[in-house]
Amino acid sequence: MATDYYELLGVPRTADEKTIKAAYRKLAMESHPDRHGGCTDKEAHFKAISEAYDCLKDPQKRAAYDRFGHAAFQNGGGGGPFGAGAGGFEGFSDIFSSIFGEFMDPRAQRASAARGSDLRYDLELTLEEAFSGAEKTISIQAMAGCEQCNASGSIGQTAARACSSCGGAGKVRAQQGFFVVERTCPGCMGSGETVADPCPACDGDGRAHKTRKLSVNVPAGVDEGTRIRVAGEGEAGVRGAAAGDLYLFVHLKRHALFSREGSTLIAEAPISFTTAALGGCIVIPGIDGEKIELKIPAGIQSGEMLRHRGAGMSVLNGRGRGDLMTRILVETPTKLSKDQKAILEQFRETETGDECPASKGFFSRIRDKLGG
């Protein structure tokens, strides 16, 4: 008697598609024949759960199975929901590969192993370059395709052959106690192939160290730590395999006037105490080179912020700009002439305490505390 498909996968009959797929993934990984040295029992179990999954993942097949059971497929000619062409292991392998993809695909594994490494480059920019974007020329020293053998790794006409160390798998296994350790084959560097007449310039690797210059475009609005991916500009792959990628990590130089928080620029502007008291106007240079006029309201206090909208940094991958925030620092004069001192003395004689309400309130609270 055939085993119930739901029991095989260990799911209830009300399980949704996501639950059924997750259950199959787990069981398929545990019982795949490649992980058990071709064990016939594991292969049979793998076929059974693959057959169950193929049925239950299809809404029409699942509906027929729920109504008629295994009898729904007995007259289809093939002994199961796969039809006549799925009598062998290949039919189940196709289902497994469609779910796990590269994870269990030897060809994909070899291509991944032979692929060139990704590279990192730390790119230093001024704040102005980050604001407007820039085209930078950088110098990279890394593995590049060998020019002498045209990246083939061979100087002769003999075609590459399967590596004798790994049998073309690109990986070798070693038993360590109860564990099996798998690593990239040192003989073919994961490509699965070796060359008969290795190039003397690259020892058959198809690549050699080279310094090259590369022009890269930096978009406007990048910030400290922004990562920019340049596809295919990393290290060359083994014997013509795909190259890795280049990753640019942005670092911003310290600016003399501005600090930055996202798209907002922050500046500090010292003003005289007379300007703070009477009001006025100051001009500061913007990040784009334009002059920005800031109106100082009378009575502004040190530390207060003035906002100038649309004068900040460019927005990365967006439109518009952030704001400019200017922190006002009221500066007390340290050098006064005799006449200036006399004028200030006259002003002090006219003070009533109402001119500076914060200090009046502060000293009033002190007097109350001291009982004065």
39 is in an annotated binding site: no
Element (H, E) at 368: helix 357-370
The token pair that represents 234 in the structure block: 């990393």
Instruction: Tally the residues of the chain.
Output: 372
The token pair that represents 39 in the structure block: 């064990």
Give 12's DSSP letter: -
Give 335's DSSP letter: -
Tell me whether strands 119-125 and 246-252 are parallel, antiparallel or unpaired. parallel
Please name every residue paired with 236 in a beta bridge, in sequence order, or none if there are none.
Answer: none
- Collect all residues with Cβ–Cβ distance below 8 Å to 97 and sequence separation of at least 6: 104, 105
Sheet strands side by side (includes 246-252): 119-125, 246-252, 227-230
281 is in an annotated binding site: no
The token pair that represents 91 in the structure block: 């039919």
The token pair that represents 194 in the structure block: 């070796």
How far, CA to CA in Å, does 157 sit from each of 69, 144, 152?
Answer: 60, 22, 10
Beta carbons of 182 and 192 less than 8 angstroms apart: no
199 is in an annotated binding site: yes
User: Cβ atoms within 10 A of the Cβ of 274, count?
Assistant: 11
CA–CA–CA angle 19, 23, 29 (5° rounding) = 145
Give 154's DSSP letter: B
Element (H, E) at 217: strand 207-218
CA–CA–CA angle 55, 58, 59 (5° rounding) = 115
Element (H, E) at 181: strand 179-184
The token pair that represents 240 in the structure block: 């013509």
Residue positions forming the annotated binding site for Zn(2+): 146, 149, 163, 166, 185, 188, 199, 202
Residue positions forming the annotated binding site: 146, 149, 163, 166, 185, 188, 199, 202
